[in-house]
Amino acid sequence: MSKRYDLIVFDWDGTVMDSTAVIAGSIQAACRDLGLAEPDDQTARHVIGLGLDQALRYAVPDAPEAMRPDLVERYRHHFLAQDQSIPLFEGARETIAELHDAGYRLGVATGKSRAGLERVMDSSGLRGYFHATRTADQTFSKPNPAMLFELMDELGASAERTLMVGDTSHDVQMAQNANVDVVAVGHGAHPAEELQALRPLALVGDFAELRAWFRAHA
């Protein structure tokens, strides 16, 4: 059966790597360090996938401008203390390897910084599977479609033959803004009902379901 897509782009945090709790907890811990009001879990999880500055401005809107560099520093302190021990979701490595071996071009579009993505791609051993990546400090943050436009341009893929896979409304909206199909995964930062309301092409619960969807539809 011929392929439906040439390029498959993955979000990272909450999609490939099970980092939602660590990110949300690091935002909350940074606020405690600085005596700022902590966002609740829902708010802290909602910003995952955005660039760090944008995420912290949304999650901690009352932080004085002068404190924002300290907030970023404290967030990074708490996150990096746990960074190396965050696991991939079960089945992520096998699914990505299968897609790579089947000849798909693979990309990453993430709210991480370039340094952060480089670090986890090395520690996870997944670097060799991906042909191109974009991070929030390289271009516009989600849901702006710039990351997808740049990846499609770099890898020579059209919008109609590109698929986005992500766990947040930011991922779904970015894909829709780029006129790209999107499959949402419900094991990450945003609730499944929130994702379903945006009408992605499909909503899957985990990598086992995602792998089966790829085999049937991609």
In the set 13, 167, 171, 181, the catalytic residue is: 13
- Longest Cα–Cα distance in the chain: 58
Buried b (16+ CB within 10 A) or exposed e, 37-50: eebeeebbbbbbbb
Catalytic residue list contains 13: yes
In the set 11, 167, 171, 181, the catalytic residue is: 11
Catalytic residue list contains 11: yes
The closest alpha carbon to 143, from 6, 5, 11, 8, belongs to 11
Contact 91, 207 (CB under 8 A): yes
d(CA 188, CA 200): 15
**Residues catalogued as catalytic:** 11, 13
